[in-house]
Structure 1
Amino acid sequence: MHFPLWITALSLLGAATASSFKRQADGPEYQLKTGPLDTDWTKQVGTNPWPEYPRPQLARSEWKNLNGVWQYQNASGGAAELATPPFNKTLSEAVLVPFCLESALSGIMGSNLIHSWYRTLFDVPSSWFDSEKRVLLNFGAVDYQTSVFVNGKLAGNNTGGYFHFALDVTDLVNTNGTNELIVYTYDPTNTDGTSIPLGKQRLNPDHINYTPCSGIWQTVWLESAGRQYITQLDIDAKADGSLNITVHTSGDQGNSSVGSFDITVHSQGAEGVALQETGQANAPTLFKIDSPQVWSPDSPNLYNVTVKLGSDTVTSYTGFRTLSKGVIDSLPRPLLNGEFVFQFGPLDQGYWPDGLHSPPTYEAMVSDLKAVKEVGFNMVRKHIKIEPGLFYRACDELGIMVVQDMPAMPTYPYPYRPACTDGAVHVTPEQQQEFERELARMVEQLKSHPSITTWVIYNEGWGQSRYDRTTDVRLTSLVRSLDPTRLINTVSGWHDHGAGDFHDNHHYSFPQCGTPFWGGDSGPFDASRIGFQGEFGGVGNNVSIEHLWNVPHAISQINQTYELAETLEGWNFRVRATFADLRSQVEAWSCSGAVYTQTTDVEGEVNGLLTYDRRVNRMDVERWKGDIEGMYEAARNRGTVPDGGEEGGEGQVRRYVVGVDEPFKAEMMMMG
């Protein structure tokens, strides 16, 4: 894999600064716990985990990694303890940040950790104390509500378990000496009366829901920024070379003259500068590059981007590609750079037996993606979880399209409960409002990654009302307004109300993709929208105990798998049969993409391409390569160019532009 030079440099810097990170001499000693299952990377983690710079689309050269051994203590008194934080006190246990408190790698491996305290000490390089600089404290993600104290004062709060947040702590840190960092976390998971976006996390896991992840689970770091600093880069680069960028900035900080920025763009694989211009901050600015090398799964070309605003400089990257939809052979299709590309890949849940939500290492995380790419898949559906920025950077660089789910709320009619027998989902207005706030935050945080092709709002009715179509239409319009450059899959699976660009069916084990026959809750295929198989397959293969999540309750539920094959030969036979059926539907009907369940086993689920410990690859790789290429061939034979010829040609061409197309207008009309 090709890594930009600035990524390599920042990664090395992170490793160097992490090794000098201060910890309390009198603090408790960290010990790796023995969990139900490990991986080959578990014992490689050590006590300076994840040294890589964590936010590749907004990177600064002066930074300090705060990952490592911190102090931990359960806040048994609950939220009332916020009135008396444990300032200048040694906490009772050692925890390895950034790993979920329930994980073996954290050193805690606890349960029902609703309220928690973290504590550590840090110092700040003297060179960062300058009138033209600010000191930022960054958290990759903390589940779920967070209060942060620096040197005895509240630095800020955050709500949402999947999102990066930054705090300006310039006025709180000591210019000479040690600083104390205290973090309080509240994670209700699915306790009675709560309904938060949490994906597959459950306090009492079942066959399709897993061990929760509480507390700090992504990198914590300090960085030095300019006096007025860049808070976010929104970058949309099209295949025609147009580059639309918005440089968001912090408050004035006493320097109102800083309003313009300088931008430099150059290809990662070529000499010379492709663009060098000036623009105005906090407003969309349009530039143009001549004849860019476009991004696609076959050629994942990327361009480095440097933005300078006053005394602040950040580096980023982008890929030039255009996502749209059009009509090919009378069928609505998703288009990449003006051509129909069949999207095919696994359901990717991103769970790890040693770190749960947190992969043990960057190498481990990327190994899953490489296994997917090796057999020819060009897509993953990131299933009701949001990953660290480095995951999406890996997809950008490897050329893997991402169908990105919004993490679901737990109140859905499965398992069936008396309160849900009428099909209604009992979500309070306040809970719905929070879901929508976090939905918008997901789009804003991830929308500059070129690999992301589609946003998924709801999965299988979880947190969605079965009968209320107006909410589906409204949320589709919300996402479209935040990001008019991508397609939207409003409902993957059940309770389709006609909103969004896809009609998405889930059907196990064999597919029903864009067909005139159907089953389950998806209803008859809507031929006016793109036909998509949001989930199918799920064929399982039980393995020996050394590759299983060794929890009796999980093992007892293995037989709930859709199908079980006794041998790897039988498993490959059955899965390849589902592929053959899918290919026939691509050839005959309106199937434009499909998601096979799933990349890896997870706890009691044994239907992965890889086992949960990643030590067994079930795929007959060479045969899978042929089957997957055959799927793309079938799609190509249905035509790749929109009716009437190339974009801009005459004749029967019908090209929809996401954001101003006919379905979008219909959504607005349905809103009334």
Structure 2
Amino acid sequence: MHIASSLLAILLASIGCVSSANGASQYAPKQPPLTTPWTDEVGTNPWPEYPRPQLQRSEWKNLNGIWRYENATSLQSVQQPPFGKHLSQEVLVPSCLESALSGIQGQYMLNSWFSTSFTVPKSWEKQRVLLNFGAVDYEATVFINGRKAGFHRGGYFHFTVDGTSHVSFDRENELLVFVHDPTDNGDSVIPIGKQTLHPSHIFYTPCSGIWQSVWVESAPANHITQLDIDANMHGEVSATVHSSQKSGTPVEVAVHERNSGEVVAYHQARSPHLYNVTVRMGADHVRSYTGFRSISKGMVDGVVRPLVNGEFQFLFGPLDQGYWPDGLYTAPNREAMVYDLKVLKKLGFNMVRKHVKIEPALFYQACDEMGFLVIQDMPALRQKAPNAKQQAEFSRQLELMVKQLKNYPSIMTWVIYNEGWGQLIDGYPEFGLTKHVKEIDPTRLVDSTSGWYDHGAGDFSDNHHYANPQCGTPFYSLDSSPYDPSRIGFQGEFGGLGSNVSINHLWNVQEAIDTIDQTYEIDESLAAWNYRSHILLGELEDQIRRFACSGGVWTQTTDVEGEVNGLLTYDRRLLRVDEMQWRADIMKLYDAGAARSHTYMPAF
């Protein structure tokens, strides 16, 4: 079946799209420069799971699937919406317009129109009708039945449009979305991570459009808009229930055992307050979940250490970029997304650094369920100094990130800046941003500047160095900063060893292939790659035993386009690592950390 569907996809891509009766070309995936084992499994009803696991409602409809698409000539096109018109092409939602799975595989997708239709059950007639978007890159203007219903800016964040006054019940409703995504075009300075209109080595193909799930649901007039839940190591749970209306509506919170469903805690209040978790506020009823853990720092044997539930355990994980050759920012399906985490878990990693990208909520749920800690980066401004307005927007979106993700127990650290990208060197804004993040979320650590321009802000003294580590050591290089013993010594990036494999596992784009030799080190065979990895992990172990190293980030989980330094190739079909060797080497890192953990002072 997979062979047949693959051949069909290639055939359709080669002959062009087929026209439907209404004049819009029918959806067919394009042929990507590289496939994955899940490329042919995507189909036309992608990502059927409820997309928001920490605030779930029972009455909902998934709007993912085949939508219509048309390029817009300019940003001003938003003033002339094509109401009632069949847009010229079909597109898969969610997907990046630049990806093969979208059926478009375009370039310079600066302005775009999307449309679909949906019905609202008559049984929702006395409810609010909430239209939810997991993420749209970068600006979205939403129209329902010919009227503007909402606007959102920020390519990584979920948002909700209340469509109640715009929809008709028990009949078709027209949904039209205008998307503007400048990426790094012209003078644009926005949070984009590693996206660029001109891909080259460590910067990649951009993602434009509706790249996370879309769904519609019903809720009462006074409904829960956000849950803030924190459960600490002492068994204490605090929750704040945000509502759509200011009122003293009674709130009931109950915490259940996930397997048995037995209620283990219950609370009732008349104000925003307070835990598998169920929450009732008046007529609204939602499901969530939480986990018991505390993140802090403390002095252990005279060294400042990160503490999880009051104890120091060495942190080790890969730089995890979350790119896919067939879907770019959007994994083919949940199975594919979780596959990466399963590989890492099997090798013995206990953490991932989610690098300058924010994933769908289901990624963080998977980390919670698998016991992974997450160091979460803010998507970076790309290598340009922002003006005051752009800096204010970066600050606003940083706040959105923390508020959106702070419920996930797996997240232990927020990273504000990576390697100086978009970081203002004058005035040191990272101090103010760090303070603001800790005000929003006092339960996590903050790595203010991961690599390069470190002026002393935050909880980490974070060094980047390739290929060998310099973690909490009395030596450093010009492109980083000396270890600061008043903060946690951390190796934010190292490794990056490259191994060029056959064209069958490479992103088959000549411009990317031409930059492979820009990798920090190229090893001529997998045996040499594993030997060099063993040496570097041995260096890190030695630094843990001798100096003040508390954690490390190995570059990286997978190859990405012209980068060939992954534990896995970009197609996820080849695992470079000698599994027995790597598991043993990683365990030695944890043993070295445990040997430095005999005594500790209270967290601070």
Name the TM-score, length of structure 1 as normaliser: 0.86
Deviations 1:575-607 (A, max 9, x none): 111100000000000000000000000000000
Correspondence for 1:668: none
The residue that corresponds to 1:4 in the other structure is none
Tell me the distance in 1 between the aligned counterparts of 2:582 and 2:24. 52
Residues 433, 559 of structure 1: alpha-carbon distance in 2 compared, 3 angstrom cutoff: same
Task: In structure 1, give the amino acid aligned to 2:416.
Answer: I
Give the equivalent residue in structure 2 for 1:623.
581
**In the alignment, which of 82, 96, 119 is matched to residue 100 of structure 1?**
96
Q: Distance in 1 between matches of 2:578 and 2:171?
A: 58
Matches of 1:632 and 1:641, distance apart in 2:
16
SS at 1:437 equivalent: helix
Structure 1 match to 2:230? 236
Match of 1:428 in 2: 387
Quote the Cα distance in structure 2 between the aligned partners of 1:520 and 1:141.
Answer: 38
Structure 2 CA distance, aligned partners of 1:614 and 1:326? 39
Q: Deviations over 1:481-521 (max 9, x none)?
A: 00000000000001101000000000000000000011133
* Aligned counterpart in structure 2 of residue 395 of structure 1, from 359, 362, 367: 367
Corresponding residue number in structure 2 for 1:264: 254
Cα offset, 1:266, TM superposition: 1.2
Residue 30, structure 1, aligned to residue 31, structure 2: no
Could you tell me how far 1:464 is from its partner in structure 2?
0.5
Q: How does 1:207-246 map to 2 (within 5 A)?
A: 207-246=201-240
Offset of 1:25 from its aligned partner?
A: 6.5
> Which residue in 2 is equivalent to 1:317?
289
Question: Does residue 594 in structure 1 map to residue 594 in structure 2?
Answer: no
Deviation at 1:281, TM superposition (A): 4.0
Contact 1:340 1:641 in 2 (8 A): no
Matches within 5 A, 1:175-254: 175-251=169-245
Matched, 1:448 2:431: no
2:119 to 102, 105, 123: 123
Q: Which whole-Å CA distance do the structure 2 matches of 1:538 and 1:193 have between them?
A: 31
d(CA) in 2 for partners of 1:373, 1:25: 49
User: What does residue 51 of structure 1 align with?
Assistant: 48
Matched, 1:439 2:398: yes
The one-letter code of the counterpart of 1:624 is W
Letter in 2 for 1:581: E
Distance in 2, matches of 1:108 and 1:379, equals: 35
- Alpha-carbon offset, residue 28 of structure 1: 2.9
Is 1:357–2:316 an aligned residue pair? Answer: no
Between 618-627 and 108-117, the greater mean CA deviation after superposition: 618-627
Question: For 1:567 and 1:357, how far apart are their aligned partners in 2?
Answer: 30
Match of 1:151 in 2: 145
Tell me: CA distance 1:112–1:48, structure 2 relative to 1, closer, same or farther (3 Å): same
Offset from partner CA, 1:123-171 (integer Å, 9 cap, x none): 11222112xx211000000000110000001110000000000011111
Distance 1:203 1:210, change over 3 A: same
Distance in 2 separating the partners of 1:376 and 1:45? 30
Change (3 A) 1:308 1:171: same
Residue type of the partner of 2:49?
A: E
Partners of 1:640 and 1:352 in 2: how far apart?
43
Q: SS of the residue aligned with 2:268? A: strand
Q: Which digits, 9 at most, give the CA deviation of each residue in 1:172-191, with x for residues without a partner? A: 11113100000000000001
Whether the 8 Å CA contact 1:102–1:109 is kept in 2: the answer is yes
- Shift in Å, 1:566: 1.3
- Counterpart residue identity of residue 505, structure 2: H
> Given that residues 22 and 86 in structure 2 are in contact (C-alpha distance below 8 angstroms), is that contact kept between their aligned partners in structure 1?
no
Q: What does 1:154-553 correspond to in 2, within 5 Å?
A: 154-251=148-245, 256=247, 259-270=249-260, 272-282=262-272, 284-285=273-274, 304-412=276-384, 426-469=385-428, 471-553=429-511
Whether 1:137 aligns to 2:131 is: yes
The answer as to whether partners of 1:339 and 1:641 remain within 8 angstroms in 2 is no
Shift of 1:279: 2.4
What amino acid sits opposite 2:442 in the alignment? P
Q: Unaligned regions of 5+ residues in structure 2, if any?
A: 1-19
Which AA in structure 1 matches 2:136?
Answer: V
**SS of aligned partner of 1:96:** strand
SS at match of 2:433: helix
Cα distance in 2 for partners of 1:115, 1:99 equals 15
CA 1:358–1:596: 2 relative to 1, 3 Å: same
Go from structure 1 to structure 2 and tell me whether the alpha carbon gap of 1:98 and 1:641 turns closer, same or farther (over 3 Å shift): farther
For 2:504 and 2:300, locate their aligned partners in 1 and report how far apart those are by CA, in whole Å: 49
Task: Tell me the SS of whatever aligns to 1:274.
Answer: strand
Q: CA deviation at 1:639?
A: 1.1
Aligned length: 585
AA at the equivalent of 1:138: N
Distance 1:155 1:281, change over 3 A: farther
Aligned-residue identity in percent: 57
Matched, 1:655 2:603: yes
CA offsets 1:446-480 (integer angstroms, 9 cap, x no match): 001000000000000000023432x1110110101
AA paired with 1:580?
Answer: G
Contact 2:301 2:599 in 1 (8 A): no
Normalising by the residue count of structure 2, what TM-score does the alignment of the two structures yield?
A: 0.95
Q: 1:119 is aligned with what amino acid?
A: S
2:578 corresponds to which letter in structure 1?
D
Q: How has the CA–CA distance of structure 1 residues 312 and 654 changed in structure 2, closer, same or farther, with 3 Å as cutoff?
A: closer
Per-residue displacement from partner, 1:635-656 (whole Å, max 9, x unpaired)? Answer: 00011541xxxxxxxxxx3420
- Does the 8 Å contact 2:167/2:173 carry over to 1? yes
Partner of 1:478, secondary structure, is helix
| Structure 2 residue identity aligned to 1:455 | W
- SS for the counterpart of 1:35 is coil
Question: Structure 1: which 5+ residue stretches go unaligned?
Answer: 1-22, 286-302, 413-425, 643-652, 657-672
Q: Which residue of 2 aligns with 1:647?
A: none
RMSD: 1.3
C-alpha distance in structure 1 between counterparts of 2:257 and 2:447, whole Å = 32
Secondary structure in structure 1 of the residue aligned to 2:128: strand
Q: CA deviation at 1:270?
A: 4.6
Give secondary structure in 2 for the equivalent of 1:475: helix
Q: Give the match's secondary structure for 1:102.
A: coil
Partner of 2:14: none
Q: Distance in 2 between matches of 1:107 and 1:583?
A: 47
In the alignment, the residues of structure 1 paired with residue 80 and residue 588 of structure 2 have an alpha-carbon distance, to the nearest angstrom, of 63
State the match for 2:594 in structure 1: 636
* 8 Å contact from structure 2 (residues 301, 598) kept in 1: no
CA distance in 1, matches of 2:599, 2:148: 57
Give me the whole-angstrom Cα distance separating, in 2, the residues matched to 1:635 and 1:308: 44
Corresponding letter in the other structure for 1:240? H
Cα drift, residue 334 of structure 1? 0.4
